[in-house]
Every structure is written in structure tokens, then in C-alpha cells.
Structure 1
Amino acid sequence: MTRRKAALALFALSVGGFGIGLTEFVIAGLLTEVGTDLGVTISQAGHLVGVYALAVVPGALLITPFLMRRPPKYALAVLLAFFVVGNLLSAWAPTYEVMLAGRIVAALAHGGYFGIGAVLAASLVPPSKRASAVAALFAGLTIANVLGVPAGALVGQQYGWRVVFWIISALGLIALAGLIALVPKTEPERDQLPVAQQFKALARPQVLASLLTTALVFGGMFGVFTYIEPLLREVTGYSATAIPWLLVIFGAGLFAGNILGGKAADRNADNAVLVLSILLPIVILALGAVAGMPVPVAIGLFLLGLVGFATVPGLQARVMRHAQGAATLASATNIAAFNLGNTIGVSLAGAAIAAGYGLISPTVVGAGLTLAGLGLIVVARVSARRKTALTQPTSTI
């Protein structure tokens, strides 16, 4: 495949990633409008965020195995169909229950799309560029945070929240057309293990360490980010009108981190993950330490996004490499771990606030979770080196 065709295919894949990322996160900026329209409390409307994250897990573990033996292009088309149907349900939803169902249907596409898409993206480029290709797929997700979420909130406030979901549904159809036109038809992985053995492969020590690290790292990061708005207003002293611009700064960090993380992982994925896992708790603790200082907090937000999301390509490449024969399922499961970690991190950070430890306490919780992830990666590296040393033949004199 020529470089130009590969770039177009990766762009088409990233458009789908943008739509899926927008579906997951835009609802957070529309909770008041959604809750008022559907006649539910803000707390009940908030479940539309948490339920989506949880529904990613069964989607990744149950739907992906049925699709991964099909050509990746076909599998991704099916998943985009789930995405479109789910968002159409959300846009139309006459009741809260229908809206909840729409969120679940859309979420079923999430893990499989990024899991199968990551393997497909890596297959389109030379081995030395595979992590960057995975980063290109996730670029759509980061752009959704930088531009899509603020724009979606603005459109929802001006024209109604349903318009946002009609637009996202149309975006899904555009992504599907781009997939059909620009992504080549390739065969599924030839060396796939039987499905039962693939699930066993997820329990391999190195694979399990990568999955748990993903959950802990992103649980820590998003546990902090979820409660950043009240911290910025009540501790730092920013006005409400400044918050969207600060979120754009965070999103810009996500975008830059995704690109830089892909390049670093192309050189050495294990080293990239280790270094970034060391830096992330430092950044989170520093953010808490400067919470009362407007300019340092803005810088800390950018660094939180940059360092946190720079780990994505390395962790995704690592889990795919160690899950030989089950790379697609492991890739999708890693996305599920990402969302499950978010749920855990948000719950623990919220519990710390509810216990009276203050709005800075999520930074302590987040740092603790990311340090646990760092510990897992260190143990995994030591274990891998020890195993390699034991299997290498010793020379005799």
C-alpha cells in the first residue's frame, strides 16, 4: 500500500474515532439540558455517562470475538452501524429509558472499534511506524475532546441537545462512507488462537499487567479531570466563562501527547510506558500543589493531558505485542480497561470529596492509582527480563 493510501485509510478510521469520542464525552456538557428535557435529576442524567463507560466492557468482550474472524473492514462497518443506531435512539429518545438504551447500544461499538481498528491501522504501515498508526486512530478521540465537546456543548445550548445527537448520527454515516471508500479490505489475523484460548491469553502475566496498568493510569487521570471544574472555580478562582478555554488547553495536551506518545512508542514501547508512568503521578501531585495559582494550574492541565494520553500508544502496542494469537481481543479489552478504570477513578475521587477531604483530594487519589500502575509495569519488566535471562543459553568456557 502506498503512503498516501495508508494516510487516507488512517484518516477515515480517525473520523470514526472522533465520532465515538464525541458520543462518550459530549453528554457531560449537556447534562442540565438533558435532565430538564427528560424530567430527571442531574444525578440521574449523570448515569448516562457512567452507564456508557460500563457498557464498553461487554461490547469489547462479547461482540469483538464474533467479529474478529471477519475482515476488519466488515467488522468496523458493523460496529459503526451500532454507533449510528445508538445515537439515533439518543436523538429521538422520548423518555429517559430510551436515552439510556441508546447510550448502551452506542457504547457496544466503542471497544471493538478501537480494538479492531488499532490492529488494522498497525497492519497498514511498516513495523517501525505501527505505534504512530495506532496514535493516528486515537487522534480522532483527542480532537473530539479539544474541539468536539466544547462545540457540542455550544450547539446544544443554542439549538437543543437533541440536535447534537442528530449531528453525531450523521457523522457516523460519514465515517461509514469513508470506511467503505478509503479503507482497504484485508484479511483477519491469520495466527489467531481459538476463541477460548484467546480469553486465556488475556491472563498472560505481561498482558494482564498492561491491562491493569491501563485501568490504573487512566483511572487516576480521569479521576482528577472529572472534578477539575469545581476545583478550578472554587479553589483556583477562575470564572465560569474561563472553564471552556481551560478544557481546550487540556484537550490540546491530549492531542500533543497522543502524537508524541506514538513516536516514543515506535522507538521503544516499554521504555515509553515506564517513563510516562513515572511522570504522570508527579504531574498530578504538582497540579494539586499549585491548585490555588491560576497560571501554574493551566500549565498543569496541559501537562496532565499530554503525559496522560501519551501512554495510550505504548500501552496499546504493548498489549498487542504480548497477546500473540489474541491481539485483536486484547486490544479491544485494553479499551474496556480504559473505560472501567475511568469509572473506578471517578468513584474513588468522588468518595474522597464526599468524605470531606476537599476538592484537591482527587489529585491524591489519582496519584495513588497511577503509582500503582507504575509499580505493575516495573514488576512486569523485571519479570520479563528474568524470564529472558533464564531462557537464554549460558555459554561455557
Structure 2
Amino acid sequence: MPIAVHTLGVAVFALGTSEFMLSGLLPAVADDMNVSVPRAGLLISAFAIGMVVGAPLLAATTLRLPRRATLIALISVFGLGQIAGALAPSYAVLFVSRVVSALACAGFWAVGASVAVAMVPVTQRARAIAVMLGGLSLANVLGVPAGAFLGDHFGWRSAFWAVAGASALALVGVVLLVPRIAPPAEQPVLRRELVIYRDRQVWLAVAVVALAAGGVFCAFSYLAPLLTDVAGLGDGWVPGVLALFGVGALIGTAIGGQVTDERLFTVLFSGIAASTVFLGSLALFSASAVAVVILAFLLGVSAFYTGPALNARVFEVAGAAPTLAGATATASFNLGNTAGPWLGGTVIDVGWGYEAAAWAGAGLTVSALGVVAVSVRVRGSAEGSPTPPLPETGAPPQTPLLKRRRG
């Protein structure tokens, strides 16, 4: 595997850490910015909004630009966004910095994936994407807990400075190690790809992803105050519990990636149902520190076990649009990452407590199960459609798709 692909994985580590680290920093940010914890939680939604808008927008606008130069520009903007966040004198400035960083993050994901697959033979494309996704997994296992640790000992701004430093290393790596990539011989025509949005299965897939992701992040976004204010754990426990969630995510991704190709809908039903059970249990037993710690780990397993199937379903129904399929999947996840923290913050704001965010998340995942059931009923011949090829541009699927699904 070319070292340039691993360089992209390092960049994704920085991107993923920035996206999720606020879940361990919300109380400190709220205190410093003199806002409520739910309002601070909107900073998570701000990043997700930027991803929702940025994924399709930058997939389209950067399509004909030089790949390497685009990566350099995007990681530079992302790093500057982290510096702006670290220096932010007000909540408004911090909010804007999150949106700008997210736009750059979304663009880097789309372009980076196309560069990764262009640097390896066809038979190694899935491995190349796996290396990039490994950066995201490490962000959950190492980056997010490290951000919480830095925030606890040196202030929340130190976490932003650390991500800015990681972005600078990624920038140097891209400049030195990523080669210039020739554009594909035939450029995709976006107006032809827009036809996929006439298919209701595409919208059902978007809804499933958004509801499933939103349910998990409705609770996960407020896990730190739940641990300290409800379960009674000290601040020093937060990084460890976040790391445990990340370990669960690694395990869940490994298991889901192995079985999704053969049992896509089985994984969707079982994974989302498990997340529903864990979210409900988190609400019921939120006063028990032991229960919350165990459930955080199990929620990481179930959420990321479902992830490959959620991605695969989007690419399956949107495979005719190689440029927009990846952007659609990214936007779908971040619709959930926008709505989830907002809903969690809303139920907390009305005085129902941090455990109410877990109840609200369970409501979203139950809705996701209903949409999956509808998808099964209306899928028709789509289940046996041929596997879409890995695109030369845009983000390829996380898992290879088979021509027939048994689950």
C-alpha cells in the first residue's frame, strides 16, 4: 500500500477527531463561553451542517480541479479553522469556525477517497479505503479521548490546538508524499446523476442513515455531562469512557464489515434494534456508573456494526451516480449528526435531564427500524441489481456489494 494512502489516513484521523471531540468538551466549552450545555451541543450540529452542505457542493465544484492541489487547499483551510476555534473570543466565532472546518472536511473526504483509489490497482481499492477509514476509527479510539484529556488538564482550547498540529502534519505529508493524479478520461455529468433522486429507495436509504446516526449521536453528544452529573463519575473518567466507546466502534466495524455483504438487511435490523435497546437502557440506568460505562461500550459496538450496512445501502441504490453516491452517504450521516444533538439539547433544555437525550435517541432509532421495514417492502428488483463499480471520482463505498443479498 503506497505511503501516500497512509498519509491520507493520518489526515482523516485529524478530521474525525475534530468532528467528534466536542462530545467530551461540552461542559468546559459551555462554562467558558457562558452558554448552556445544550447550546454548546449545537457546535456538534454546526459541524454536521457543514458536512451536509459541503459533501455534495464540494464533490461538484472540485470535480475538474487538480486532485493534489485541492487536497492541499482543503486540509489548509481545515487547519486554519481549528486555529480559529482555539482562538475564538465568542460562541459565534467558534460556531462559524466549526462550519468552515466542516466544509473543508467534507471536501477532503470526497477528494481523498478518489485519490486513494486512483493510486492503487483495482484489486486494492477496498484496502485503500479501509486505510482511510482506519484513521476515523483511530480518531474515536485515541483522538476523542485524548481531546477530552487535554480539555480536562489544559483547557478545551488545547484540544483544538492539538488537532491543528495534526492537520499541519497531514499537510506536510500531502505536499511531500501524495503524487499528482491525472484526471479520469471521461468526466461524469452531474445532471445525469441527479436522476437518482427520483428513486424513492434513495430517499428511504437517506432516512434510515439519518435516523440511525441521529439516534446514537443524540445521546453520545451529551455523554460527558451524563457521566459526571447523573452517573456521578469524576471528570477524569470521561476520556476513558470515550475510549471504551471507540474500542466498541472498532469491534463493531470489524464484525459489520464481515457480514454486511451477505446479510445487509439483517445487519440493519439487528444493529439498529440493538442500538435502540442500549439507548433505552442508558436512559433507564443512567444513575448507575457501572451500567453507563458498559452501555457506552455496547453502543459503540452496535452503532459501528451498523455503519457498513448503512453505507452499503446508499451505494447500492445510488450506484448509478458515482460522484453523488459518496456525497449522499456523507450528507445522510451528517443529517443525523445535525438533528441528533439538536434534539438531545432540546429535551435537556426543557428540563427533562440528560437521560432524556437517550430516550429521544431511542425514538429516532425506532423510526429508523420502521423505515428499514418499508425499504424491504418496496425494494423490488433493486435487491438483485448489479454491483456498481468503484468510481474514479467521488467517495467509493466502504464495503464491496454483492449482486444478491440474502439478508
Q: TM-score, normalised by structure 2?
A: 0.80
Tell whether 2:312 aligns with 1:309. Answer: no
Matches of residues 1-397 of structure 1 in structure 2 within 5 Å? Answer: 4-5=1-2, 8-31=3-26, 40-42=34-36, 45-70=40-65, 72-94=67-89, 96-121=91-116, 133-183=128-178, 185-186=180-181, 193-267=188-262, 269-386=264-381
Whole-Å separation in 2 of the counterparts to 1:359 and 1:80: 35
Is residue 205–residue 314 contact of structure 2 (8 Å, CA) maintained in 1? Answer: yes
Q: How many residues matched?
A: 385
- Tell me which moved more, 106-115 or 40-49: 40-49
Whole-Å separation in 1 of the counterparts to 2:133 and 2:195: 27
- Tell me which moved more, 304-313 or 203-212: 203-212
Whole-Å separation in 1 of the counterparts to 2:273 and 2:123: 25
The amino acid across from 1:138 in the alignment is: L
Query: Which residue is equivalent to 1:394?
Result: none
Is residue 69–residue 189 contact of structure 1 (8 Å, CA) maintained in 2? Answer: no
- Compared with structure 1, are the counterparts of its residues 178 and 319 closer, same or farther at alpha carbon in structure 2 (3 Å cutoff)? farther
- Compared with structure 1, are the counterparts of its residues 215 and 203 closer, same or farther at alpha carbon in structure 2 (3 Å cutoff)? farther
User: Offset at 1:51?
Assistant: 2.2
Classify the secondary structure of the residue corresponding to 2:236: helix
User: Offset at 1:223?
Assistant: 0.8
Is residue 44–residue 338 contact of structure 2 (8 Å, CA) maintained in 1? Answer: no
Is residue 68–residue 75 contact of structure 1 (8 Å, CA) maintained in 2? Answer: no
Whole-Å separation in 2 of the counterparts to 1:295 and 1:132: 37
User: Offset at 1:246?
Assistant: 1.9
Whole-Å separation in 1 of the counterparts to 2:313 and 2:115: 16
Is residue 281–residue 370 contact of structure 1 (8 Å, CA) maintained in 2? Answer: yes
- Cα deviations across residues 83-137 of structure 1 (Å, max 9, x unaligned)? 1222233334455544433322211122233334445556667878766654442
Whole-Å separation in 2 of the counterparts to 1:294 and 1:266: 37
| Greater helix fraction, Structure 1 or Structure 2 | 1
Query: Which residue is equivalent to 2:401?
Result: none
User: Offset at 1:153?
Assistant: 3.4
Is residue 70–residue 187 contact of structure 1 (8 Å, CA) maintained in 2? Answer: no
Whole-Å separation in 2 of the counterparts to 1:253 and 1:202: 34
Is residue 22–residue 148 contact of structure 1 (8 Å, CA) maintained in 2? Answer: yes
User: Offset at 1:252?
Assistant: 1.4
User: Offset at 1:22?
Assistant: 1.9
Any unmatched runs of 5+ in structure 1?
Answer: 391-397
Is residue 135–residue 262 contact of structure 1 (8 Å, CA) maintained in 2? Answer: no
The amino acid across from 2:59 in the alignment is: T
- Compared with structure 1, are the counterparts of its residues 165 and 362 closer, same or farther at alpha carbon in structure 2 (3 Å cutoff)? closer
Aligned alpha-carbon RMSD (Å): 3.4
Classify the secondary structure of the residue corresponding to 1:377: helix
- Compared with structure 1, are the counterparts of its residues 311 and 188 closer, same or farther at alpha carbon in structure 2 (3 Å cutoff)? farther
The amino acid across from 2:297 in the alignment is: F
- Compared with structure 1, are the counterparts of its residues 263 and 191 closer, same or farther at alpha carbon in structure 2 (3 Å cutoff)? farther
- Compared with structure 1, are the counterparts of its residues 222 and 132 closer, same or farther at alpha carbon in structure 2 (3 Å cutoff)? farther
Is residue 222–residue 345 contact of structure 1 (8 Å, CA) maintained in 2? Answer: yes
- Compared with structure 1, are the counterparts of its residues 278 and 133 closer, same or farther at alpha carbon in structure 2 (3 Å cutoff)? farther
Any unmatched runs of 5+ in structure 2?
Answer: 386-407
Is residue 26–residue 153 contact of structure 1 (8 Å, CA) maintained in 2? Answer: yes
Is residue 44–residue 337 contact of structure 2 (8 Å, CA) maintained in 1? Answer: no
User: Offset at 1:168?
Assistant: 2.0
- Cα deviations across residues 257-302 of structure 1 (Å, max 9, x unaligned)? 2333333335554543343233322332333344444434322211
Whole-Å separation in 2 of the counterparts to 1:149 and 1:41: 22
- Tell me which moved more, 225-234 or 364-373: 225-234
Is residue 116–residue 328 contact of structure 1 (8 Å, CA) maintained in 2? Answer: no
Is residue 111–residue 333 contact of structure 1 (8 Å, CA) maintained in 2? Answer: no
Whole-Å separation in 2 of the counterparts to 1:377 and 1:191: 36
User: Offset at 1:65?
Assistant: 0.6
Is residue 348–residue 354 contact of structure 2 (8 Å, CA) maintained in 1? Answer: yes
